[in-house]
Amino acid sequence: MSGKMKQNIFHFILWFIVAVVLVIVFSTEGTIAQWGDNRTKTVLVASLFLFGFSGDAILRIIFSKKRVPTDERDKYIQNKALAVGYVITLIYIFILAISIYTKYENNGMVPVAWIWFIAYSLVIIANLSVSAASVYQYWKSDLNG
């Protein structure tokens, strides 16, 4: 297993943890209706992203100290993963926005917590989809190569 594949696996696990906790926070009773009145949950979600981005920085430091070499295959895989991640992210945001609109169309307004959820989850989906696509591409190239 290459160093870049390991880095992408750890990256996926890190952002998966952030995603699970974000879903737990947003799915607890009263979160959507009372988002603006609940500073604890706002701080919790912000700290989740601090955890995610700090973890990213730590992974980069660890893997740069190991001097994991980058070759043409790595660049090719990362480009393919970014393209796949871009498409997945676009599909996700489109489906989520249309779903929320459809649910609240008759109310005339969408609770502000959903806008926050879209923003937070967009960062998570982008990170998860690119790292998952990278792992898949590395796995596929290891099988073929």
pLDDT values of the chain reduced to their tens digit, one per residue, 145 residues: 677 888 899 999 999 999 999 999 888 887 777 777 677 888 888 899 999 999 999 998 888 877 766 778 888 889 999 999 999 999 999 999 999 999 999 998 888 889 889 999 999 999 999 999 999 998 888 776 6
Domains of the chain, by residue range, sit at 3-144
Element (H, E) at 62: helix 39-65
**pLDDT attached to residue 142:** 73
SS3 content of the chain, % helix, strand, coil (to 5): 85, 0, 15
Rg (CA), the chain: 18
Name the residue type at position 22.
L
DSSP single-letter state for residue 2:
-
Cβ–Cβ < 8 Å for 80, 141:
no
